[in-house]
Structure 1
Amino acid sequence: MATTILMAAIAPGLALLSFFYLKDRFDHEPIRLVLRVFIFGALLVFPIMVVQYTFKETLSLNVFFQAYFNSSLIEEFFKWFVIYFVAYSNLEFDQYYDGIVYSVAVSLGFATMENIFYLYINGVYHALIRAALPVSSHALFGVIMGYYLSKSKFEKDPEKRKRWLLYSLLIPIFLHGTYNYILLIGQDWWLWIMIPFMIGLWVYGLNKVKKAQSKPYMSV
């Protein structure tokens, strides 16, 4: 049973990582570096859990702050921090699509470890909904983060570079917070809001993939 849960928890993350990795039309990133970033993302779960638990126990957080601060901001900042300091300045980060690969890797590392804990605690019958919602949403937040990180890295104008760097953090925080907010306030009707939100997120994310694919090297 434990093996089944582990496989069910890991499979969606690896499948989505493979999907976005293989969409690189020009020059695939080194597997070693991608896996390194993925593992960093998985390890982020532990400090993030401590920080989130501390804030939850010490502060009186309403639904809005729980969704946008204690979950979204903290998780996306830690993921952004890893990409910025591990991959952003790496010589292998030399194509527009590379930001998406690395950001998706760290996001899915985090989502996969989180999924392992969740399924072990709550049961493998949650695996399908977890794959469709939290795991895939983390991947798409990573796509959007990576797209704007690439725009920042390859931008020559210093002011625009700062703007894209800020967008790479703020837009995923907003989208992730909105996702959480729907879950927290939705009650019986949350799915009717979540379905169009996820469709829109997929359309938005794949649009960024297409744009990144059209800019192979260091050009804007």
Structure 2
Amino acid sequence: MLVPHLLVSILPGVLWLVFFYRKDRHEPEPKRVIARVFLGGMFMVVPAGALEFLGKDGLTIARGSGDLGLIFLYAFLYIGLIEEGLKFLLLALTVNYRKDMNEPVDGIVYGITVGLGFAALENLLYTRTMGFEVGIWRAVVTCLAHATFSGWGGYFLTAGGAYRSVRQRFFRGFGVALFWHGLYDFFIFLNTPFWSAGALVLTGILLYFLFRKMHELEAASPFNN
């Protein structure tokens, strides 16, 4: 059963990566760096899972109680903080900022890449424990959700206004990714069809405007001849 699980979890992440990678037309990022970031994103699921396991019971209580304050805490300052924090830590450690992020769209590309890597292994774990149908759902929704959270965060690494230092850019991008991830999880944790649909709508809106932003930055690329 492992092969079908791999096909429904890892393969969609790779296919989405190829799709987004081809959007960077003028000076595509080195494939070895993209592969390193994608695989690193997968690896970050391990420490994220370990940290989140420590608060598993608290999250269950928060979701069951309907306490908005607790749900907010776990959505933004626990799950979102851990997962986006690890993604941006990976980008800081594995990407040569001045060499590889030399085009306005590059930050989005790397943000999407680490998000898809993270989603791929996370999806595999969910598919193995919760079933094939869950894997199919997550192959689309969760992959794109993670891609948009970290993709919008990545936007601020190479575009999104002039900040005085690389450190400020990373903190800004991390904050943006954390906000969207936290808001998405907050909607999901409310456990109602209406707010779950709201999470889907949020993902669609973020994805639509991310496509538009990538197109805009590609047109403004210094390598566009």
Give the TM-score range, shorter chain.
0.7 to 0.9
Q: Number of aligned pairs?
A: 215
- Cα deviation for residue 90 of structure 1 reads 5.2
Structure 1 partner of 2:30: 30
In 1, Cα distance between equivalents of 2:181 and 2:10? 21
Question: One-letter code of the match for 2:213?
Answer: K
Q: In structure 2, what is the equivalent of residue 94 of structure 1?
A: 102
| Structure 2 match to 1:125 | 133
Q: Structure 1 residues 210, 164: CA separation in 2 closer, same or farther (over 3 Å shift)?
A: farther
Distance 1:56 1:195, change over 3 A: closer
Residue matched to 1:51: 51
Partners of 2:167 and 2:33 in 1: CA distance = 25
Deviation, 1:197, is: 1.6
Q: Deviations over 1:26-51 (max 9, x none)?
A: 01111111101111111101111111
Q: Would you say 1:176 and 2:184 are equivalent positions?
A: no
Amino acid at match of 2:5: I
C-alpha contact (below 8 Å) 1:144/1:208 kept by paired residues: no
Alignment of 1:19-168 (within 5 A): 19-56=19-56, 62-89=70-97, 91-151=99-159, 155=162, 158=164, 164-168=169-173
CA distance in 2, matches of 1:57, 1:195: 26
Secondary structure, counterpart of 2:26 in structure 1: coil
Structure 1 residue 114, shift from structure 2 partner: 0.3
Matched, 1:213 2:221: no
Cα distance in 2 for partners of 1:150, 1:115 equals 29
The alpha carbon displacement at 1:181 in A equals 0.7
Change (3 A) 1:211 1:165: farther
SS of 1:216 mapped into structure 2: coil
TM-score (norm 1): 0.87
SS at match of 1:91: helix
The residue aligned with 1:198 is 203
Structure 2 vs 1, CA of residues 50 and 116 (structure 1 numbering), >3 Å: closer, same or farther?
same
In structure 1, the partner of 2:66 is none
Change (3 A) 1:178 1:58: closer
Tell me which amino acid in the other structure corresponds to 1:98: D
User: Per-residue deviation at 1:58?
Assistant: 7.9
Distance 1:217 1:83, change over 3 A: farther
Alpha-carbon distance, 1:88 to partner: 4.5
Counterpart in 1 of 2:6?
Answer: 6
Retained in 2: the 8 A contact 1:41–1:106? yes
Letter in 2 for 1:3: V
State the Cα deviation string for residues 162-217 of structure 1 (Å, max 9, x = none).
65443311111111011101111032333432332222111222232123213324
User: CA distance change for structure 1 residues 93 and 55 in 2, over 3 Å: closer, same or farther?
Assistant: same
Q: TM-score, normalised by structure 2?
A: 0.85
One-letter code aligned to 2:164: P
For structure 1, the residue ranges without an aligned partner over 5 or more in a row are none
